[in-house]
Structure 1
Amino acid sequence: MTTTQDISQILELLPHRYPMLLVDRVVEQVNGKYIKAYKNVTINEPFFTGHFPQKPIMPGVLILEALAQASGILAFGSVGKTPAQGSLYYLVGIDNARFKQPVVPGDQLHLYVEMTRNMRGIYKFTAEASVEGRVVAQAELMCTERSVS
């Protein structure tokens, strides 16, 4: 099943809100397989006032967070649950993270995440962020589903 999702649908799947919501749109998703999404990076982002004022660069940890949020959307879609049903996905591991180029205001950060494994509620993903077809970051991510009450 391939789906697209706008911001209102993303808000139903992720508990994040401004300024921590880092996925603007899902352009393609095949549940249990992969997701393609993006984040529009603007000078209005609150982190640019301190990172770095003279040469604004999106922090690498926030690029990883955007990839993790896309992973969460994919995980929710793959099991057919939502946070409203009392469950969340927590990031539990990041391996082999690499940053190749800076991300700056005006860039559109494309997020590609592929689910590589699901075993007993632990999900593994390979993730890649790119700008204009150039890879800017890569990582292997793990998340787990937890009930919240």
Structure 2
Amino acid sequence: MEILMNVEEIMEIIPNRFPIYYLDAVVEFEDEKHITAVKNLTMNEDFFQGYFPNDPMMPGTLIVEALAQAGSLLILKSEAFQGKTAYIGGINKAVFHEKVKPGDTLFLNFDIEKIKGPVGTAKAWATVGDTVVTDCQFTFIVGDKEQK
């Protein structure tokens, strides 16, 4: 698995930071339409300590957030939206098929389906190995970065 972007390179583009940052690398990037990012999960993740401690799993909402971060990276790498910020405008048809547990490598896939101006739609899915663990559809909105 070739790493196309590492953590430092990703953090130059998206605004997310610890404790709500979930991308370790990018392993696929295709024509500003598709991205696959990776999140390596260890027992050291904060959420595993409190989310079903006897049967730890990654909360579905955080899987969706990780998918959104991968999508944000894809969107903000495009020439049209460099220097902007991508926001979730809607999440539709989210389905959680399998548990994501410590030791799993989560592959985060995001395909842009349509963009009109600053608004677009995408399909996203997360896999562990060959198993789809989560899938959903996003509406996203691209806007100016908030000034400090």
Aligned length: 144
2:129 to 129, 132, 137: 132
What is the CA RMSD across the aligned residues, in angstroms? 1.4
Unaligned runs of 5+ in 2: none
- The alignment status of 1:123 with 2:120, answered yes or no, reads yes
Secondary structure at the aligned position of 1:13 is classed as coil
Length-normalised TM-score, structure 1? 0.92
Length-normalised TM-score, structure 2? 0.92
- Does structure 1 retain, via aligned residues, the 8 Å contact 2:35–2:109? yes
Partner of 1:8: 8
Partner of 1:90: 87
Unaligned runs of 5+ in 1: none
- Does structure 2 retain, via aligned residues, the 8 Å contact 1:31–1:74? no
- Does structure 2 retain, via aligned residues, the 8 Å contact 1:124–1:143? yes
Query: Which residue identity does 1:91 align to in structure 2?
Result: I
Query: Which residue identity does 1:74 align to in structure 2?
Result: L
Question: Offset at 1:132?
Answer: 1.0
- Does structure 1 retain, via aligned residues, the 8 Å contact 2:97–2:133? yes
Partner of 2:17: 17
- Counterpart-to-counterpart distance in 1, 2:80 and 2:119: 16
Partner of 1:52: 52
Partner of 2:64: 64
Following superposition, which runs of at least 4 residues in structure 1 exceed 4 angstroms of deviation?
none
Query: Which residue identity does 1:30 align to in structure 2?
Result: E
Query: Which residue identity does 1:107 align to in structure 2?
Result: D
